[in-house]
Amino acid sequence: MDKKYVLAKIEELGIMPCARVKVDAQARFAAEVLYSAGIPVLEVAMTLPDASKVIEELAKRYPDLVLGAGTVLDEQEARQVVDAGARFLTSPGFVPEVVAYARKMNIAVFPGAQTATEVIGAWKAGGDFIKLFPAATAGGSHFIRALKVPLPQIPLIVTGGVNQLTAFDYILAGATAIGVGGELLPKDALRDRQHQRIRELAKRFLHMVNDAREQLEEG
């Protein structure tokens, strides 16, 4: 799975789910349900103690699942998860050594940013998509829309505060994709293995992305 495929798949779906869990089994379950629901993308946060092990297991089980590691804070972690099978790296802020390592290994990387200055800096350093985090406190969809006016060439993944009420507006404002955690993968749904509930949420978010894109094309 090459970098071009990873970027194209995330852009196509418009959704980058994040499993920020504390139990390995819940991350595996999240991958299984999302994959079956038509979202073959998952970010496994490094806050999971055995994140690298889980990524390695999932990469072997689902060869066409676009797996990434989130909250990657240094080159050592980046190297560890890439060796395990991660095909994209992301951080809540801009970590130069992570971006540099990803570029060296030809791995997709999404550094975090919140201000226009940070977005430009992360983009010029080599970020493929820039993860705007946390979007809600940065100004929500109004900020995204304003940011895209002078910087239309920079693709943004919007995370932090994305839910069923805001997802449509973020895509309509110009976001390439939305990063969704607990709103798509509720803790109790993962704990209780509620397949149908997560599948229904996946369906809703996919519809929101597609509906917003259709409106953009019409307008």
Mean pLDDT in the chain? 96
What's the confidence (pLDDT) of residue 83? Answer: 98
Q: Is-catalytic flag, 11? A: no
Nearest-angstrom CA–CA distance, 190 and 219: 38
Question: Does 138 reside within a domain?
Answer: yes
**DSSP string over 97-147:** HHHHHHHHHT-EEE-EE-SHHHHHHHHHTT-SSEEETTHHHHTHHHHHHHH
21: helix, strand or coil: coil
State the Cα–Cα distance between residues 196 and 193, nearest whole angstrom. 9
Percent of the chain exceeding pLDDT 90 equals: 96
Q: If pLDDT is split at 50, 70 and 90, which confidence band does 84 have?
A: very high
> Rounded CA gap, 101 and 92, in Å?
17
Beta bridge partners of 18: 43
- How high is the pLDDT of residue 138? 87
- pLDDT at residue number 219: 72
pLDDT band at 119 (very low <50, low <70, confident <90, very high): very high
For residue 219, is it within any domain? Answer: no
Distance (Å, whole) CA 34 – CA 87: 17
Is residue 50 included in any domain, yes or no?
yes
Q: What is the pLDDT of residue 10?
A: 98
Query: What is the SS3 assignment for 164?
Result: coil
Strand, helix or coil for residue 66: strand
Q: How far is the C-alpha of 127 from the C-alpha of 101, rounded, in Å?
A: 11
* 104 is a catalytic site residue: no
Q: Which candidate in 9, 32, 43, 183 is catalytic?
A: 43
32-83 pLDDT, tens digit per residue, is: 999 999 999 999 999 999 999 999 999 999 999 999 999 999 999 999 999 9
Q: What is the CATH number of the domain that holds 77?
A: 3.20.20.70
Domain limits at 79?
Answer: 3-214
Q: Mention every residue, 6+ apart, whose C-beta is less than 8 A from residue 186.
A: 197, 198, 201
| Domains identified in the chain, total number | 1
Using H for helix, E for strand and C for coil, what is the string for 34-53?
A: HHHCCCCEEEEECCCCCHHH
**pLDDT score, position 97:** 98
Q: What percent of the chain has pLDDT over 70?
A: 100
Judge whether 181 lies within some domain: yes
**Does residue 61 lie in a domain region?**
yes
137 pLDDT more than 90: no
| Structure-token pair, residue 117 | 């200055």
Name the catalytic one among 9, 77, 131, 183.
131
The gap between the terminal CA atoms of the chain, to the nearest Å, is 35
